[in-house]
Amino acid sequence: MISIPVYYWVVDAIWKGELDEHNTTIVEKTAYEFGRLKLSEEEFEKSILLWNKIQPGTNIERIPFNSLKKDQAFTIEKQKTYAHPPELERYRCLKKVVYINQKPYLFTVETNIEESHETIAVIAAITIFFFILIVLGLLFLNRKLSASVWEPFRNTLEKLKTFNLNSQNSIDFTSTDITEFEELNHSLKKLIEHNISVYKTQKEFTENASHELQTPLAIIKNKLDVLLQNKDLTEKQYQIVEDINRALTRSSRINQNLLLLAKIENQQFTQNEVLPVSELLHQSLELFQEHFDQKQILVETQIADGININGNKVLTETLINNLLVNIVRHTLNGGSAYIGLSQTQMIISNSGSTILNEETLFKRFSKASTDTNGSGLGLSIVKEICNHQQWTLSYSFQNNHHIFSIGF
């Protein structure tokens, strides 16, 4: 847009300069030809009058010596009187003093200049055409260049998208001659290898710690059981031992849950089979029915028969039991619960008063209540099992009910 008036100004200036030279040439050549004719004074005056009448855009007039003027070049606008309707046109004019037969004459020449709006229109059209051509060319070149220049980056991005820390496999990035992408790949490779190393160390520590704790915990529990059977214990001693036994039972449960999480993360539950989920759900409900009755929890079920889903039996049973345990622990006496099963999802809900924090709900050792009997790992295990079996787990709070939905 800026270039269009600049082009017009430059072209117009050049055009005016050329017309000034053209007008000067006409004046000088005309004066020269009149001088060569060797006409008498009377014949010369008649020739001048005839020239002024028949030659458009020129005028020759005699001037006295004392009124000599400098050459003048200027632009005027006037109407074309012989056209219908009259049109306004621009003219480049030259007023120059010439000597014919050693007498001064003022020679005026007018030359039509191309219309300004036509010049602007042509320049604008040409400029816009080449601008569009350049833009299209740049877009084409940009797509061609980006396809080759950014290909190493896209390869790196695709490999990062498919990277899974649980697989513990490093990434081999494609070598490239672009320095920045090569440095990026090198830094990413070092970062990933470091994360894999830290992840392996943490997993090994969890596994080893949990495994090694199993034996001493079992020994301590057996000793406590023997101690509880001692008839010489006082009431106070018995209460202390019972508290220790309760805390030890919880520690053992936490240890077993940590071991289970480690096994899930290590992909040790790889065997999938067709599971009769309807039967598994009925069996678990029978086991928990006594607990429901003790807290007077009204359980409504809507379980479709013959639902079979691919998955691991041990993990699926653990998932169902953990959700049912949540109902027993976190539902108030006289509350209600709902268990539903269809071909696409399983819904387990229980009554409650306030919504749970979804940001920490499925994190380890995060508790939604003050119950000290739980390990804080139940919902974390449910989440990991769903991830392992590629199921979707979601939570919502509607009509004073906590709703856990598992999509198959």
Reply yes or no on whether the pLDDT at 120 is more than 80.
no
Question: Rounded mean pLDDT of the chain?
Answer: 83
Q: What is the CATH number of the domain that holds 256?
A: 1.10.287.130
Count of domains observed in the chain = 4
389 domain-assigned: yes
The tokens describing 32, both together, are 């020269």
pLDDT in tens, 217-227: 788 888 888 88
Say what the pLDDT of residue 364 is.
72
Average pLDDT over residues 126-133: 90
Q: Which of 231, 265, 299 is the last residue of a domain?
A: 265
Find the range with the poorest average confidence among 57-66, 183-192, 265-274: 265-274
DSSP state of 372: S
CB-based contacts of 281, cutoff 8 Å, min separation 6: 303, 320, 339, 341, 346
Q: Are 101 and 37 in contact (CB under 8 A)?
A: no
pLDDT in tens, 275-312: 888 998 999 999 889 888 898 999 998 988 888 888 88
Reply yes or no on whether the pLDDT at 169 is more than 80.
no
Find the range with the poorest average confidence among 124-133, 165-174, 292-301: 165-174
Residues 245 and 283 in one domain: no
> Cα 97 to the chain's mean position, in Å?
74
Residues 321 and 352 in one domain: yes
Residues 82 and 127 in one domain: no
Evaluate if pTM is beyond 0.85: no
Q: What one-character-per-residue DSSP string does 324-368 give?
A: HHHHHHHSPTT-EEEEEE-SSEEEEEEE-SS---TTTTTSTT--S
- pLDDT band at residue 140, thresholds of 50, 70 and 90? very high
Residues 224 and 312 in one domain: no
Residues 7 and 87 in one domain: yes
Higher pLDDT, 109 or 217: 109
Range of the domain at 293: 273-407
The one-letter amino acid at 29: K
Residues 95 and 131 in one domain: no
The tokens describing 223, both together, are 């000793």
Residues 20 and 95 in one domain: yes
Residues 277 and 394 in one domain: yes
Residues 283 and 386 in one domain: yes
Average pLDDT over residues 356-372: 69
167 domain-assigned: no
- pLDDT band at residue 118, thresholds of 50, 70 and 90? confident
Residues 7 and 68 in one domain: yes
CA distance 304 to 136: 61
236 domain-assigned: yes
Residues 244 and 282 in one domain: no
Average pLDDT over residues 317-322: 89
358 domain-assigned: yes
29 domain-assigned: yes
Say what the pLDDT of residue 69 is.
75
Q: What is the CATH number of the domain that holds 349?
A: 3.30.565.10
